[in-house]
Structure 1
């Protein structure tokens, strides 16, 4: 497999791919990267479905059970940036194949574990494999589509995490109940390895290069023909403008609430609605599906409103945050009942609605040669400000004030996201000009 980042065979790059393949190939890339995103989160979250069995069979404490889950998030947070940088320099397709193979084989090791220590080591390897997939996969997927589709595709890709989580828990619970918990991990591992094989056959680095859109540094729009990236941007360009900082921070803060909903809604329905554990989890999974559906729908809407005026993507993100702030604040202030459940459902639809928009903003404000590393920075911000921090903060507040009170305070996080996004919207033109000046200076050199 050719892993270079610039074309070396002029005859290969000069010949354009067949028209039909040119149209189909981007969607093949999307389908396989999305499928691997599902596999990523199914392998990560299937553990929750077998917690009771592991606790009973191995006599584990809740803290040890929690560590089996948190070790994956810890590795993702620590390794996403360096591994994405390696993928940008070494080859994104090969890196993705290695990542997916590592997390799939590590998931198979989970099935073979005979105790806590072995399971912890296997979960550590799951986190290592999954660490940079979200950023590298997003970079590969977006590279073969026109920029006008970025928010839609980013939202759909990120929603794969929500859908994968639901599938992992639901399917894992059914399989574990019928044929044992070890088979749940074996099933997830097999799915991942099948997708790796399909990706290896259908997508190569050279194919990806031929279908990559070249972008104008000023508008972010694609040129007439695809090309490779010959110029490498310095890492400092990832943080070269106020607007891109605001996109990182605003995107992370808007996921704070979504992360809390995914982690704590089962407990909320169990305690506030007196639902048994299985029914509480089932009801909560419906709200998680709404979060994922909203990410897709809001991404599509963002692309429509920003097609002619990309700056409107910032405005759409601000609208989604404002809607969720109002709906969720009111919902958690009401008594239990149908009205509260309805408002929670509506708020869940926009809870992570700006995820696609903020990813698209980062893609526009950073150089294409560092696209995977830019998305790794997005992943880092999402974990630091949202996915890891949210459930932890709510757990601390719930210990002191009760879960219902803690959840009433959670939507206030949107105020920080709104402030960051508003500043980013104001400084966006300056961020584009800074990127354009750097690109022209590096090209001249």
Structure 2
């Protein structure tokens, strides 16, 4: 009996690929539920512990600070050991840490538990991105990454809505405990999926170098070879920094839009969280849409994978700034915010694909980990605490305008990166991935 080969460009059959992708999608969804549930609990924590806006922002930032410290070393483990085992262990850790938040008695303890969530989540985005890049053909990479990333706004919105509902009815501690459970179940399933064989870090050599290597056409990459690979890829570096600017804007909006609707427009907590969640939910359109546009446009213009993020960042900045500056409420303003929500995520899928396109296949998790470190160090970790500090001093409206303007910097960086993309793509080693037996 002959074994059926997977379709061209796929690592496994389409049905099994869809199953693995579903688990990856659900884990990312609950990753962000656990990460953002605390946002809807701010009023309850303020009432119990007397926290400031800056302290509330710091509880969101704590996750990202931990990711900064642990993402890179964990990504090395992912690339060199096992994707499925690493991801399974991480999901168990962040779920248990979320449950532990329910047992905390003061700000310091909750901050520590939130930091533990970040440690668990540190390698998931790099590991998941590497797996999706292996599962699907390159021509579908941005679109599938887009569908995967649509779980982020959904998870954020669900975390805020579910957290607010549970806290309003049964108390904020129950919110942490309940949302932690699904991640544990999915993590256990993930330990049993098929992975691909770890890729050796080898590169092709020219004739003179081959003679020195005893006639071999390839040689193992040294640490300096790896450093030169990243340092000598400008489209990749500019994508990292463009990512940071967009995450500063996006995470600041996700964190403080509920506060804006409650404090400036006078909505009760549940209505404020629903309005903010509606904006995040529209991002489910933007993520796959941006990936589809980039993959389609790329057939005619290779630079499309960075031109789409540039255009998306520009639209997000203009729409958010216009909404805050020209309107003080109403349906027109909210409609503008809905469009801004789409634009504020449409850039991500093709930008993530770039971090996989222009590097050696054995360095994909490391590549996205460097992106994660950069975006969290300069964007996600700073956004909530800086925006919270500006809010304490100048008011929430001014703080959100400043956060919106950061997207304009990303617009410029993505555009400059597009000028180098084709050259960097042409330098990449082409290596076929092999499924585990």
TM-score by structure 1 length?
0.82
Q: Deviations over 1:280-328 (max 9, x none)?
A: 1211111111234312222222222224543222222222223223323
Kindly report which structure 2 residues correspond to 1:356-371, keeping only aligned pairs within 5 A, or say none.
Answer: 356-371=349-364
**CA distance in structure 1 between the aligned counterparts of 2:158 and 2:351, rounded to whole angstroms:** 26
Q: Which residue of 1 aligns with 2:211?
A: none
Over aligned residues, Cα RMSD in angstroms?
3.0
**CA distance in structure 1 between the aligned counterparts of 2:175 and 2:396, rounded to whole angstroms:** 31
TM-score by structure 2 length?
0.83
Contact 2:58–2:384 (CA under 8 A) maintained in structure 1: no
Contact 1:241–1:434 (CA under 8 A) maintained in structure 2: no
1:185 aligns with 2:185: no
1:428 aligns with 2:418: no
Q: 1:179 to 1:324 in 2, by over 3 A?
A: closer
Contact 2:65–2:376 (CA under 8 A) maintained in structure 1: no
1:241 aligns with 2:233: yes
**CA distance in structure 1 between the aligned counterparts of 2:175 and 2:265, rounded to whole angstroms:** 30
Kindly report which structure 2 residues correspond to 1:296-315, keeping only aligned pairs within 5 A, or say none.
Answer: 296-307=288-299, 309-315=301-307
Equivalent of residue 77 in structure 1, options 41, 62, 68:
68
Q: 1:194 deviation in Å?
A: 0.8
Q: Which residue of 2 aligns with 1:42?
A: 33
Q: Deviations over 1:331-382 (max 9, x none)?
A: 2221323322222221221112111111111211111101011111121222
Q: Which residue of 1 aligns with 2:24?
A: 33
Q: 1:415 to 1:270 in 2, by over 3 A?
A: same
Kindly report which structure 2 residues correspond to 1:282-321, keeping only aligned pairs within 5 A, or say none.
Answer: 282-307=274-299, 309-321=301-313
Contact 2:57–2:384 (CA under 8 A) maintained in structure 1: no
Q: What residue ranges of structure 2 are gaps of 5+ in the alignment?
A: 205-217, 432-437
Q: 1:199 deviation in Å?
A: 1.4
Kindly report which structure 2 residues correspond to 1:13-412, keeping only aligned pairs within 5 A, or say none.
Answer: 22-56=13-47, 59=49, 61-62=51-52, 66-113=57-104, 118-201=109-192, 203-205=193-195, 208-209=196-197, 234-236=225-227, 237-307=229-299, 309-336=301-328, 337-412=330-405
**CA distance in structure 1 between the aligned counterparts of 2:314 and 2:110, rounded to whole angstroms:** 42
Q: What residue ranges of structure 1 are gaps of 5+ in the alignment?
A: 1-13, 218-228, 441-445
**CA distance in structure 1 between the aligned counterparts of 2:423 and 2:313, rounded to whole angstroms:** 24
Q: In the comparison of the two structures, how many residue pairs are matched?
A: 406
**CA distance in structure 1 between the aligned counterparts of 2:163 and 2:408, rounded to whole angstroms:** 37
**CA distance in structure 1 between the aligned counterparts of 2:309 and 2:248, rounded to whole angstroms:** 15
Q: 1:116 deviation in Å?
A: 5.0
Secondary structure (helix, strand or coil) at the match of 1:327 reads helix
